[in-house]
Amino acid sequence: MGYDVVIAGAGAAGCVVASRLSEDPKRSVLLLEAGPDYPDPTMVPPEILSIVSPAHTHDWGYTSEPSFHGRSLRLPRGKLVGGCSATNAAIALRGAEADYDEWAAFGGPEWSFREVLPFFRLLEDDRDFDTEWHGRGGPLPIGRTRFEDPAPVHRAFLEACREAGYPRVVDHNAPAAVGAGPLPLNALGGVRQSTALTYLARGRVRPNLTVRGDAMVDRVRLVGNRAVGVRLAGSGEEISGGSVILAGGTYGSPAILMRSGIGPAEHLRTIGVAEREDLDGVGRSLRDHPLLGLRFAAVPPVPQAPFAQTALSLKSSQENPGQDIQIFPSSVLATDAGKSPTMAHFIVFASIVKPLSTGRLTLRSADPSDAPLINPGYFTDPADMPCMIDAVRKARLLSRTLSLSRLSAGELYPGPGVTDSDSDLQAAILAKGETYHHAVGTCRMGFAGDHRAVVDSKGKVHGMDRLYVVDASVFPIIPAANTHVPVIMTAERCAAWLAETV
Ligand SMILES: Cc1cc2nc3c(=O)[nH]c(=O)nc-3n(C[C@H](O)[C@H](O)[C@H](O)COP(=O)(O)OP(=O)(O)OC[C@H]3O[C@@H](n4cnc5c(N)ncnc54)[C@H](O)[C@@H]3O)c2cc1C
């Protein structure tokens, strides 16, 4: 049986594209997902619904190549219908206008902030703001905790930012929002509103949309350079499709391309895959936000509160067009006595959100059950470490304000023995730095002739026919924000084009 469109990967982007393309009843759409599907909302596991913490029960189990001075880092990726959209912290930020004006240099004027704003508005149902920057009635509900409501750590964090002289921000998603304020969250009544529970739920009722869980795509079936369907891993089942859209995410989509013979010729040779198209950019241009958590023993009780509620965004230099540092606290979390004498802790995170360092994803083999080799490349650009040290120092200074120190029973990491000198903070970053989970760019967009471009500005794979990629992997530059809402915007933007062509 064939479909007009086959989509590989039902994550943040895949659910959006499947839902939008199935709005036309004449188009048959198949959405394939390697992890399980929970079509009945009452069967969704509780941790997939709760925003008290990101969920780690449905995961690909990836780790990085040795990074941060030889450490291998966990790189969580949701493996279920909803993808990371169903497991993340529900922070719903857009990034700076400058991010998308940068994208326009790679993808053309359609990706400038002015042109993508209507798609940011289209995706959301903003409960707090009804202005020219915001949308009402879109699939994704977005709301912020009011200043009076947040859990004690978050309230103290906002007071700490005021003490330190940072400006207040009421809407982190308004242009030029630099300062401290409540985080927009895609959550309702403590339930994470993933693209599976929102977009896909709207689409599931349509007879022309089929969703299949536990169906991992091995490779794209090709006739010449034209995509004609996919082959599933394990069973080897072949499925026909008029067009194929890869939405496997930053680690999934380049892997499918490479197994299909589309990637850097020299790498395809080393894994024994016959070359169909020499596309040097596949797997390259990987960018991610590095993160360090400063840990504090907390005075109990442990409230049932969303993991993240407030954040400070900053420019490391006034000349920057947008923010490049983000600092945010976690709620108080329960932990064991070995980790905190009070059996409770909170974390103040610091991240650089415009890193210049790039990494690369390659394959161990053409076997889809082999995890890819992921080298995030953190701090390979010399500009990133000084900026990260600056971010961590600012976070530490905030933790010492009267407001925040009242809630702390002592700094657990890096700990009182570690000074604020560049060398001490660099050592602390290298010892415990981790990912902020925002990997992008391994199939990045760009014009023909740009040798690192994988897809054109509308998501079509260069040199291929009827084959597209739509997910975080196409981002040409990492936005100064958590990547979920930018992915949904990208999927909405591309779906509008695809609806005219597939
Ligand atoms: C722990 C965690 C917390 C995060 N917190 C936030 C946050 O609070 N706010 C925010 O903005 N961002 C957050 N993110 C990042 C954000 O969720 C991702 O950037 C976004 O979901 C990426 O969307 P995507 O569609 O590119 O990929 P994904 O959402 O990862 O979807 C890819 C899907 O494809 C499937 N897949 C992969 N390969 C195959 C294959 N071969 N065959 C079939 N299916 C396949 C996967 O199982 C997955 O379901 C977080 C991420 C993580 C991991």
Structural domain boundaries of the chain?
A: 2-96+192-286+439-498, 143-190+289-357+379-435
Give the single-character DSSP code of 343.
S
Three-state SS annotation for 469-494: ECCHHHCCCCCCCCCHHHHHHHHHHH
Q: How far is CA 64 from the centre of its chain?
A: 16
Rounded to whole angstroms, the Cα distance separating 316 from 326 reads 10
Rounded to whole angstroms, the Cα distance separating 216 from 219 reads 9
Give the pLDDT of residue 43. 93
pLDDT tens column, 309-321: 999 999 999 899 9
**Lowest mean pLDDT segment, chosen from 269-278, 303-312, 379-388:** 303-312
Which band of pLDDT confidence, cut at 50, 70 and 90, is reported for residue 388? very high
For residue 149, pLDDT over 90 is answered with no
pLDDT tens column, 249-301: 999 999 999 999 999 999 999 999 999 999 999 999 999 999 999 999 998 88
For residue 146, pLDDT over 70 is answered with no
Mean pLDDT confidence for 308-337: 93
Q: pTM of the entire structure? A: 0.97
Q: Which of 438, 451, 462, 484 is catalytic?
A: 438
How many CA atoms within 13 Å lie on the side-chain side of 292? 28
Which band of pLDDT confidence, cut at 50, 70 and 90, is reported for residue 218? very high
What is the Å distance from ligand 1's center to 483 Cα? 9
What is the Å distance from ligand 1's center to 7 Cα? 15
Q: Per CATH, which fold does 143-190+289-357+379-435 belong to?
A: Cholesterol Oxidase; domain 2 (3.30.410)
Give the pLDDT of residue 148. 53
For residue 147, pLDDT over 60 is answered with no
Instruction: Pick the more confident residue, 52 or 180.
Output: 180
Give the pLDDT of residue 384. 97
Give the single-character DSSP code of 345.
E
Rounded to whole angstroms, the Cα distance separating 426 from 207 reads 55
For residue 56, pLDDT over 70 is answered with yes
User: One-letter amino acid identity for 379?
Assistant: F
Residue 423: phi and psi, rounded to 5, are: -70, -40
Token readout for 360 is 């690369």
438 is catalytic: yes
Mean pLDDT confidence for 382-395: 98
Work out whether the CA dihedral 254, 259, 265, 268 comes out positive or negative. positive
Mean pLDDT confidence for 63-77: 93
For residue 485, pLDDT over 90 is answered with yes
Q: Which is it for strands 434-435 and 467-469: parallel, antiparallel or unpaired?
A: unpaired
Give the pLDDT of residue 221. 98
Architecture of domain 2-96+192-286+439-498 in this structure: 3-Layer(bba) Sandwich (3.50)
pLDDT tens column, 86-145: 999 999 999 999 999 999 999 999 999 999 999 999 999 999 999 999 999 999 999 998
Give the pLDDT of residue 69. 79
Task: Report the candidate in 367, 361, 369, 373 with the shortest Cα–Cα distance to residue 272.
Answer: 367
Mean pLDDT confidence for 432-460: 97
Contact 222, 235 (CB under 8 A): no
Mean pLDDT taken over the chain: 96
Pocket-forming residues, ligand 1, beta carbon under 6 Å: 8-14, 32-35, 54, 76-79, 83-85, 87-91, 216-217, 247-250, 252, 256, 437-438, 471-472, 482-485, 487
Give the pLDDT of residue 304. 79
**Which atom from ligand 1 is nearest to the alpha carbon of 76?**
53
**Which atom from ligand 1 is nearest to the alpha carbon of 473?**
26
| E strands in 63-208 | 124-126, 140-144, 179-182, 184-185, 187-188, 191-192
Mean pLDDT confidence for 154-176: 95
Give the pLDDT of residue 275. 97
For residue 67, pLDDT over 90 is answered with no
